[in-house]
């Protein structure tokens, strides 16, 4: 048996040349579509995700309508060409359904649903290229799309993964390559400003002693991502505002 490949080299670099606490490059864009109320595109390393938000709008089925909140409908799908092996179908399998539900949970934690009785918000995310950290990229894209749609949220919800390299060192933002080699992956969706955790998931077991430091690393990652998204949102709003001449602002 060959020796298990090390996730961190002796000088502390990872397989793609990052250090343990470095995120992959994030590029994002808001308002990519004109048809939905809000849309966003995000790239985290090679993981590419599109998100579109429709609503709040009238609930289509009468039974589901809630008199005090709005319902949030999420759909996660992965393009058939997004992974190494061509997928049979883009959505509907167990993994997609699970990710849809997790996404819904993360969004329910931030959207001020009580403001929109009898309404519904649809969030569609599509993975164009999956290269590790699919769920975090989807959460971040959905957050941006919701902000673009002008839907009130308490704060950003960001997600990030972290892992444990060489059984000791916490590593941020795990890529697909590192996922495959092994090492437990901890996925965290959090509200970076208040430090609340809305979702936490582990792919494998590791010793409880390691959990606090890996979790801290992941939360740090969420904060960093929030700063990047915030910058992008501000730039987008500034561009939009200056091209409309701030016509809708009175003060």
**Among residues 33 and 206, whose Cβ is nearest to other proteins?**
33
Taking CB under 8 A as the rule, does residue 41 contact other proteins? no
Contact residue for other proteins among 123, 139, 149, 186 (CB under 8 A): 149
- The dihedral of CA 23, 133, 227, 231: what is its sign? positive
Minimum CB distance to other proteins, residue 84 (Å): 24
CA distance 234 to 230: 6
- In this structure, are strands 185-191 and 38-44 parallel, antiparallel, or unpaired? unpaired
Among 47, 49, 45, smallest CA distance to 25 is for 45
Taking CB under 8 A as the rule, does residue 5 contact other proteins? no
**Among residues 7 and 71, whose Cβ is nearest to other proteins?**
71
**Among residues 43 and 178, whose Cβ is nearest to other proteins?**
43
Minimum CB distance to other proteins, residue 151 (Å): 7
Write out the binding residues for other proteins, residues 56-115 only, by CB under 8 A: 56-58, 112
Number of other CB atoms surrounding residue 209 within 10 Å: 7
- The dihedral of CA 133, 136, 139, 141: what is its sign? negative
Taking CB under 8 A as the rule, does residue 27 contact other proteins? no
Q: Which stretch binds other proteins (CB under 8 A): 1-9, 159-167, 182-190, 229-237?
A: 229-237
CA distance 117 to 56: 10
**Among residues 57 and 89, whose Cβ is nearest to other proteins?**
57
- 89 contact partners, CB below 8 Å, separation of at least 6: 80
**Among residues 13 and 237, whose Cβ is nearest to other proteins?**
237
- DSSP assignment of 136-151 equals HHHHHHHHHHHHHTT-
**Among residues 10 and 62, whose Cβ is nearest to other proteins?**
62
Among 4, 22, 44, smallest CA distance to 144 is for 44
Contact residue for other proteins among 154, 204, 212, 216 (CB under 8 A): 154
Residues that bind other proteins (CB under 8 A): 31, 34, 37-38, 55-58, 112, 116-119, 147-156, 191, 193, 230, 233-234, 236-251
């Amino acid at each position: 048996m060959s020796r298990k490949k090390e996730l961190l080299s002796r000088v502390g670099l990872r397989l793609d040349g990052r250090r343990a606490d470095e995120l992959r490059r994030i590029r994002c864009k808001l308002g990519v579509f004109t048809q939905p109320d809000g849309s966003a595109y995000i790239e985290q390393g090679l993981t590419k995700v599109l998100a579109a938000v429709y609503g709040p709008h009238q609930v289509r089925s009468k039974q589901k309508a809630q008199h005090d909140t709005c319902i949030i409908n999420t759909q996660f799908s992965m393009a058939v060409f997004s992974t190494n092996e061509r997928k049979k179908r883009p959505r509907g399998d167990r993994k997609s359904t699970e990710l849809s539900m997790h996404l819904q949970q993360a969004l329910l934690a931030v959207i001020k649903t009580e403001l929109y009785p009898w309404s519904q918000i649809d969030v569609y995310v599509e993975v164009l290229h999956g290269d590790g950290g699919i769920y975090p990229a989807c959460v971040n894209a959905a957050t941006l799309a919701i902000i673009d749609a002008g839907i009130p949220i308490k704060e950003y919800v960001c997600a990030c993964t972290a892992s444990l390299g060489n059984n000791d060192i916490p590593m941020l933002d795990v890529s697909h390559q590192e996922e495959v080699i092994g090492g437990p992956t901890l996925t965290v969706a959090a509200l970076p400003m208040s430090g609340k955790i809305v979702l936490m998931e582990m792919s494998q077991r590791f010793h409880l002693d390691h959990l606090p430091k890996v979790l801290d690393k992941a939360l740090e990652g969420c904060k960093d991502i929030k700063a990047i998204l915030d910058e992008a949102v501000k730039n987008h709003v500034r561009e939009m505002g200056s091209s409309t001449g701030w016509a809708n602002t009175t003060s």
